Amino acid sequence: MGTISTQYNVGDTVYIVVDVRAETAVACPICSSTGKVTLSGQEFQCPACGGQKTRGAKTRSAVAATVLQIQVSKCEERCQVLYTMQHSSGRASLPEVAVFATEAAAIASMGG
Ligand SMILES: [Zn+2]
């Protein structure tokens, strides 16, 4: 068995892109943030926001994370390296291609 080299090590600080809930929730435009819609005199739970009164206001953001665990699998042709990381909003498991050494690189990966 050869030695598998990974780009990052346990304990390293890396940058990843995560979906984070926006601090200010966006009001639901369908129900005017009442959570209900009225159709033919009958009241229904708003289908757009599911009665939550706000739309899923999520944004993609680059965050710093600490590598907790590294799993390597399928090494016949190309190793797949999966990192489990702790970041400020929780944990994430991502392949090496989605893990970055710098915040700028993580932001760049999001595209325009
Ligand atoms: Zn709604």
Domain ranges of the chain: 1-22+59-112, 23-56
Residue 39 in tokens: 């159709």
Alpha helices in 5-102 (DSSP H): none
Model pLDDT, residue 70 = 94
Cα–ligand 1 centroid distance for 23 (angstroms): 18
Instruction: Give CA–CA dist 108/94, Å, rounded.
Output: 17
Integer distance in angstroms from the first to the last C-alpha of the chain? 42
Residue 56 has pLDDT above 70, yes or no: no
CATH of region 1-22+59-112: 2.30.30.140
Span from the CA of 53 to the centroid of ligand 1 (angstroms): 5
Read off φ and ψ for residue 8, nearest 5 degrees: -125, 165
> 2 pLDDT exceeds 60?
no
Higher pLDDT, 35 or 76: 35
% of residues, the chain, pLDDT over 90: 49
Give yes or no for residue 74 having a pLDDT over 80. no
pTM for the full model? 0.63
Residues with CB under 5 A from ligand 1 (ion): 28, 30-31, 46, 48-49
Q: Give the pLDDT confidence of 8-55 residue by residue, as tens digits.
A: 999 999 999 988 766 566 788 888 888 899 989 999 999 888 887 776
